[in-house]
Amino acid sequence: MRFSIDAHAVGRKLTGNEVYIRNLMSGFSALDDKSEFIAYVSEPGAEAGIPKGFAIRHVSSNPFVRLGFDLTRRVTEDRPDLLHVQYTAPLACPVPVVVSVHDVSFLEAPHFFPPGRVAQLRLTVSRTIRQAARILTPSEFSKHSIERAYGVDPDRITVTPNAVSTRFRPIAREVALTRLHARFSLPGPYILTVGDLQPRKNQVGLIHAFEELLREHPQIPHHLVLTGQDSWYASTVRRAAQRSCAASRIHFTGFVSDEDLPYLYAGCELFVFPSFYEGFGIPILEAMACSRAVACSNTTAVAEVADGAAILFQPSSTRDMMRAMRDLLLDAELRQRMERLGIARAATFQWRNASERTLAVYYEIVEARARELRHSGVAPVSR
């Protein structure tokens, strides 16, 4: 078998999309030494993020060129059995397409996106879903959302949950804080949130809840640390922090490397994930794997991922969010219980399992395609 993967996200700091495709490919490398794998990359230096043994092809970083010309040309030359993409396939593709659609927030919550981005995703994702041989999505929530939005036969959608890398593990807080002080000069103790600075991540709501927490419990010594790269919405989040009565205790780290991120989780006393909309929520599992108590939204796929191993709150309620943080910070027994439950919950999500399920879909699609060709009197291509 020969499988090709659109890996243009690698090296581009595309957070969840990059984490997803890098870990899938690592799993493929460990699980299947009989098939050929081809990775299409667009970022200089992305080769370092591709497993050994993968063939690497370069495509344009310009999405119009990549999707309108480069991927089609490469796939035509390489003649793989299928192409795996995230959200959007090339305009023309001579082989079956498997598409990963992590969520349809651009349809169900378009106010969280720039209008141009919404229009682009509406067009390209709809086209891709119509032509795809199979749709992969990480949660039951997203599966049902895709069914509603596109009228897709549920048999064409396969749930393959995301997971947490083994680099996220318990680290002594003192060890973590020593490293963090040298890297970021962060004060302690602190509450942490991780996510690009964008409206659906609800960092502004978290800042207001943090203010209320300090007003009602001035004895709490914690700072608030926001980790994530800037987006078009970043100025709004930073302005909210600057205008806050707790401004001196709110800190931004920007984008953090894979090497430093586990230490940020390990150094915090509480992880908060206040997102309004998620198709999964990998940071929840990363914090749990680092043995940190989690408070998170009770909406979309977040509660499905947390599954009783976190304190849930209504993300649109500042008061509700504040109470969740307060309870975990002031009740050591509750916090320790959530830490134990979190470690157990995170352990059930492994990238090896996600890779196995995805490979099973690849083989199923190729075998179905071969049957179709035989029935039509066309011999499958042999390699």
Global pTM value: 0.93
Instruction: Say what the pLDDT of residue 378 is.
Output: 62
Helix (H) or strand (E) holding 182: helix 173-184
Helix, strand, coil % over all residues of the chain, rounded to 5: 50, 15, 35
pLDDT 10s digits, 180-235:
988 888 888 999 999 999 999 999 999 999 999 999 999 999 999 999 999 999 99
Give the chain's domains with CATH numbers: 2-163+350-375 (3.40.50.2000), 173-346 (3.40.50.2000)
Residues paired with 159 in a beta bridge: 137
Q: Check if the beta carbon of residue 310 is closer than 8 Å to that of residue 338.
A: yes
Residue 5 · residue 40 · CB < 8 Å: yes
3-state secondary structure of 297: strand
Write down the pLDDT at residue 373: 78
Peptide bond connecting 90 to the previous residue in cis, omega within 30 degrees of 0: no
Q: ∠ CA(311), CA(208), CA(174), 5° rounding? A: 60
Residue carrying structure tokens 């000069």? 185
Closest CA to 196 of 366, 74, 58, 15: 15
pLDDT < 50 positions in the chain? none
Tokens of 136: 């992969």
Residue 218 and residue 201: Cα distance in Å, rounded? 26
Q: How many CB atoms lie within 10 A of CB 230?
A: 15
Q: Inter-axis angle of helices 318-330 and 203-216, to 10 degrees?
A: 60
Quickly tell me which residue has 């100025």 as its tokens: 235
Contact between 169 and 278 (Cβ < 8 Å):
no
Minimal CA–CA distance to 271: which of 302, 226, 221?
226
Q: What is the pLDDT of residue 381?
A: 57
Q: How far apart are CA 132 and CA 144, in angstroms?
A: 17
